[in-house]
Chains A and B, each alone.
Chain A
Amino acid sequence: MAWSAMKRRIALVPGAVPAALTGACAGIQSPLAPASDQAFALHDLLILMTAVCGLIYLLVIAGLVWSVLRARQHAKRAAAAPVDDSALDRSLIASAVIIVTGLTVLIFGSFLADRALLAARAEKAMMVRVTGHQWWWRIEYRNPATGRWVETANELHLPLGRTTRVELASNDVIHSFWVPNVSGKIDMIPGRRNMLDLTPRRSGWFRGACAEFCGAQHAHMALDVRVDDPVAFDAWLAGQAEAARKAQGPGEALFGLHCGSCHAVRGTPANGRAGPDLTHFAARRSIAAGTLPMTRGALQGWIAQPQALKPGTAMPAVPLRPAEADAVASYLAALR
């Protein structure tokens, strides 16, 4: 912890100007607002790169402008001056040296940042499995207490200060898990397992997105990421592990009949695995992988016409009478 913090202060000193420039437009889904060791390492590298490349660009433009101005005066002289290139030959060597040193600095900086990304691999970390589906994320936590896997979807919670090892895989096509504030992206490729270590240093809500084109609704395959302090995280995880509480009203039966073949709600007969697990659906912050906010209106709209909100999604438009739809919506809204 101390080493990475101290390193950050050192790296920031030379990069003060570019940091101010790029830091201004930080957001909840931006590499410019790092919130974890990995993201800080990449942010520092970005500052170093921007500084060196910016310097070289200024040199090139200065050389260009100077040459054009000088050559325009020479154009007024009629006779072609005898061409003596010895000075230019020496400056060619000089420019080669400048480029090589610049590149060496960048290559070394990149190598260091790459090693920093792996620093957390040695630590013992909580395992999380994230599987990419066509256009949503299946997330499974290995509950350290019970050793059993707890399934949720489209929302990733991380403990502050502790390293979480995310195992990335795909169920169908190639996706890419990218939560810029927390780390760089790693692709989710069928037939391979990729590992990604996340060590958050700042709590709050962040947003990630699928970064590899994966079909019609690639644009609506986002995921919300919540970093809590370890106590709040453990409470949340324990809550997720419990089955759904008994609900009143016809909603549960209707849901079981019409939606149970694709969705699962632990503690009820609905056990379909084709769609996301909805046991604690209402506790999430968005519906359909970041497409809609978690509001009653959005939920009613999503149940009635998913194809209108996310055209091409695999979620069918279940023909329900308004009263039935309302019952199912209330049932889902109660699944805390």
Chain B
Amino acid sequence: MIPDRAHLDRLDRSWRDPPGFWGFLTTVDHKRIAARYIVTALFLMFLAGMLALDMRWQLSVPENTRMGPQLYNESFSLHGSTMLFLVSVPLMEAMAFWLVPLMLGARNMAFPRLGAFSFWLYFGGVLCLWIAHAADITPDLGWFEYPPLSGPAYSPGHRADIWAQMITFTEVAALAASVNVAATILKMRPPGMTLARMPVFLWAMLIASIMTILSMPAVMLVTSMLIADRLVSTHFFSPAGGGDALLFQHLFWFFGHPEVYIIFVPATGFVSSIVETFSRRKLFGHSAIVLSMMSIGALAFGLWVHHMFAVGLPRLGNDFYTAASMAIALPAGLQIFCWIATVWSGRLRLATPMLWVLGFVATFVIGGLSGVMTASAALDLQLTDTYFVVAHLHYVLIGGAMFPLFGAFAYWYPKATGRLMSERWGSIAFIGIVGGFNLGFMPMHFLGLMGMPRRVYTYPPGMGWETLNQIATLGSAVAILGGLVFVANALWSYRHGQPAGSDPWGGSTLEWASPSPPPAFNIAYTPVVRSLTPMWDEGPGLPAMDGLGLDRREVLITSVTAAVPLYRQKSAGPSIWPLASSLAVSAMFIGSIFTPWAIAIGAAPIAATLTGWFWPDRPRAGSDAPSAGA
């Protein structure tokens, strides 16, 4: 049966945001929060891309004087920090925010206001770093700042503090987001969606969230220790004061490596969804892919020392980490095998999202294999801190995460906007980006093997690096042009794209049941899941349950393993408090760059705003006013 108009109108009235700018500031709709995350992150990716082009231009000619050392060091620090902390991780969280409720047939995230708080705090981190850049106090020590160079003695001023606080900003936002995503996936699955029937995308987001929860505290601790060393003269990283410079590296990379898998694991979720839909068959080796994802998540915490092979740690320890680092190639390899097997035994439809998956496999496997090469403790002594590693990290980050992300945009764009992106321009952008990227970054492998060190603002003539650097510059320019074509296609299709309907690709998961663009309440009823691919296995009418409140915001809470309905949880409505709290927290973070007293003074506004946020709005004791409801 089609839900009647009255049913939808009552739902829409309960779930609609207040109109206008106030609605924009107070919304807790996971789709609007995700959309602003994606827009901000894509704009920052463009800015950081421009920085990359700047550096490529500087390196295209030996002894180039276009950029001085200070400007170049600021550029690569800002490029790295922005791409990793302000673009990649937030984009993956945004995809989770946008898709997890839709795939669960739920009406919002578990903690709606916490989602709003995550975005505003992330946005505070963006402003903290980029306003500092505008004011010419850009951090200039790279995206990981090893003491003692980042210590009080060798980097005066507040540049390193701004970098460290920006990380604290984004990591608190990421932690809040991952607790939100994990709680949503564990406790809000539709009736019948047991763990065995959970789509791979949700497994990917769950595992990435758990990895975030366990790894981000390490970087928050280490940046706080660095700021303490710089501001209140603690001795964590001063060898003469009893500290150890390597303690920073251990703690940072204990976070660093899981971080890059937090970026990669969601990408495997995107690829699995796309491959399943465009091969038009159930994903081959569902359990193999999920188990591989789990082992990648677990192994990621056991191999951080491969970033420190050259610091002179005991050899046997290094060899253990070689084995652990190489072992991660097994689950990754099995995942790749399962995707290719799914395509092999399916009826392939080569639309743009599938093109991106093919681009992903072709590029990421090169990155994975160059990763296996640098994983060797011995060979890494020749490869680390050279352009070989720059090539490897771009192949696994752009090839392994950005290409699936472009595919995911092309795949879920019709669901978000109701219109299809143009296939022709989609493939032109694909050729531009993938072709340009490989032209740009393949030569860097050879530059590294020809001895070009990393992070050099210029290099002497006569080393044989000139032509390869010029090819790399050309390739990067082509890739960025392709990126602009992709964005232009997205913007153009918003108005003029072919109308898509609710399920243009014939997808297998629940997000294709709701209309596109989905209304504020996502779906009229709570779907019941009886298989891994509900949209394919059920008849014309999707089995669903009624009974969730229509006149107040309610979400269904189910049990963790078997998704048995437990109770109807009141879902928080729009509120300004998340924004207020994130302003208070931002003020405290920025203040604490200048004086430790800012933490004590800043605590008061934070306490006040959090009280406002969590103050349950129920009737006062003894008054007979009916329950205030929404």
Contact = CB atoms under 8 A, between A and B. Distances in A.
B149 A190 contact: no
B288 A56 contact: no
B348 interface: yes
B312 interface: yes
Nearest to B334: A96
Contact count band on B: 35 or more
Interface residues of A, number: 88
Contacts of A5: none
Given A92-B337, A174-B245, A211 B358 contact: no
Interface in A7-66: 22, 25, 27-32, 41-42, 45-46, 49-50, 53-54, 56-57, 60-61, 63-64, 66
B363 to A, nearest CB: 11
Interface string A83-125: 1010011011001100110010011011101101110000000
Interface in B146-172: 146, 148-149, 153-154
A29 B460 CA distance: 12
A56 to B, nearest CB: 6
B76 to A, nearest CB: 9
Interface stretch (B42-50, B67-75, B177-185, B220-228): B67-75
Given A25-B450, A114-B377, A185-B384, A61 B347 contact: no
Contact of A174 (B146, B285, B365, B460): B146
B377 A211 contact: no
A225 to B, nearest CB: 12
A219 B149 contact: no
A217 B376 contact: no
B322 A111 contact: yes
B406 to A, nearest CB: 18
A95 B376 contact: no
Contacts of A46: 373, 379, 382, 449
Contacts of A57: 365-366, 369
B148 A71 contact: no
A27 to B, nearest CB: 5
B455 interface: yes
Contacts of A190: 148, 239, 245
B340 interface: yes
A83 B377 contact: no
Given A64-B340, A99-B333, A107-B326, A83 B281 contact: yes
Given A191-B245, A216-B69, A25 B330 contact: no
Given A42-B381, A46-B379, A99 B329 contact: yes
B244 A176 contact: no
Contacts of B365: 56-57, 60-61
A61 B364 CA distance: 11
A194 interface: yes
B344 interface: yes
Interface in A206-242: 207, 209-219, 222
Given A53-B372, A111-B322, A116-B378, 4 more contacts: A68-B343, A134-B154, A173-B148, A174-B149
Closest 10 CB pairs of A and B: A184-B381, A191-B239, A71-B348, A110-B376, A67-B344, A29-B451, A194-B312, A219-B456, A53-B369, A113-B378
25 contacts: A25-B446, A25-B449, A32-B449, A60-B340, A61-B365, A70-B344, A71-B347, A71-B348, A88-B345, A107-B376, A114-B377, A114-B378, A134-B154, A174-B245, A189-B246, A189-B311, A190-B245, A191-B245, A192-B246, A194-B311, A195-B312, A211-B385, A211-B454, A216-B69, A219-B458
Interface of A: 22, 25, 27-32, 41-42, 45-46, 49-50, 53-54, 56-57, 60-61, 63-64, 66-68, 70-72, 74-75, 77, 80, 83, 85, 88-89, 91-92, 95-96, 99-100, 103, 106-107, 109-111, 113-114, 116-118, 134, 168, 172-174, 176, 178, 180, 183-187, 189-192, 194-195, 207, 209-219, 222, 290, 311-312
